[in-house]
Amino acid sequence: MLKILFVTAGCLLLASTSSAQTAKTAIQYYDQGIKLLDTEKYTEALAAFKNAIAKIPATKKHYTAPDGRAMN
């Protein structure tokens, strides 16, 4: 379930990129997160995915809790 969530988040991340420079950096973090997931390093994977999201500010609005709080 967790892996599906991160793969979905990665798809949203890739779909919303606006420039090649930003996309490359975000994609690198995303790829790192996938590799960490595969080795069951979940805390490190989450950090990599958060870094990927942070590289593209427009995606931050997609990652909020149901009550409207930002998920950090």
- The pTM of this model reads 0.54
For the chain, the structural domain boundaries read: 18-57
Q: What is the pLDDT of residue 42?
A: 94
| Spatial CA neighbour of 23 closest among 34, 71, 15, 9 | 15
Residues 6+ apart with CB under 8 A from 13: 26, 30, 52, 53, 56, 59
Q: How far apart are CA 3 and CA 21, in angstroms?
A: 26
Tokens, residue 25: 């950096």
Q: What is the pLDDT of residue 41?
A: 95
Tokens, residue 72: 């950090």
Q: What is the pLDDT of residue 1?
A: 56
- Tokens 């931050």 locate to 60
Please give the chain's pLDDT, 72 residues, in tens: 566 656 666 666 555 544 455 556 888 999 999 999 999 999 999 999 888 888 876 665 565 666 666 555
Q: What is the pLDDT of residue 35?
A: 95
The span from the first CA to the last CA of the chain, in angstroms, equals 19
